[in-house]
């Protein structure tokens, strides 16, 4: 968790680069809100390779459980539809995470302020076992990160 530009996505990419080669990683770059359960489930299901299936929480969960998956939602804050029914899709995500908890590892990035809101209003925040908070880098920290990146 952290503000935009503090390295959330970069940190995840570094961590995931060290994962076992046989582990399937599904990277979902969230770039828009979903105002229905079906929209969110289709996004996840189709991204995972589901085709020609009836889409609901149980069918997507069964499909995801078939493999040793690590599922990354980069930009969880973008899934939140800022309307009266805006939590419907996140409730479906919480159900899916619960249904796959034993077989799918879920990782997400989220802006700190939205995460604080989700902790108050959505069960999805309770489904992450660990939360890492990132702070923006100082000027010296940015310079060092750039130097190290170019050294690779």
pLDDT in tens, 75-97: 888 888 887 677 888 899 999 99
Q: What percent of the chain has pLDDT over 70?
A: 89
Stronger pLDDT, 64 or 133, i.e. the higher one: 64
Bridge-partner residues for 105, per DSSP? Answer: 70
pLDDT of 5 reads 62
Tracing tokens 């980069």 back to the chain, one arrives at 74
Q: Quickly state the pLDDT bin for 45 (edges 50, 70, 90).
A: very high
pLDDT of 20 reads 62
Q: Residues with Cβ < 8 Å from 50, sequence gap 6 or more?
A: 59, 60, 63
Rounded to two decimals, the pTM is 0.80
Residue 3: is its pLDDT beyond 70?
A: no
Q: Classify residue 90 as exposed, middle or buried by CB count within 10 Å of its CB (0-12, 13-18, 19+).
A: buried
pLDDT in tens, 120-144: 888 888 888 887 777 777 778 777 7
pLDDT of 6 reads 59
pLDDT of 97 reads 93
């Amino acid at each position: 968790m952290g503000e935009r530009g503090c390295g959330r996505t970069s940190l995840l990419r570094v961590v995931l680069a060290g994962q076992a080669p046989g582990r399937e990683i599904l990277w979902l770059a969230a770039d828009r809100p979903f105002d229905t359960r079906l929209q969110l489930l289709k996004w996840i299901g189709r991204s995972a390779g589901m085709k020609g299936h009836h889409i609901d929480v149980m069918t997507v969960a069964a499909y995801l459980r078939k493999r040793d998956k690590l599922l990354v939602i980069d930009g969880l804050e973008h899934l939140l539809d800022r309307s009266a029914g805006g939590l419907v899709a996140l409730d479906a995500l919480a159900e899916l995470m619960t249904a796959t908890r034993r077989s799918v590892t879920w990782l997400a990035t989220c802006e700190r302020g939205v995460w604080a809101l989700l902790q108050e209003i959505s069960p999805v925040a309770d489904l992450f076992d660990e939360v890492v908070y990132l702070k923006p880098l100082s000027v010296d920290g940015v310079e060092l990160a750039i130097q190290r990146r170019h050294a690779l």
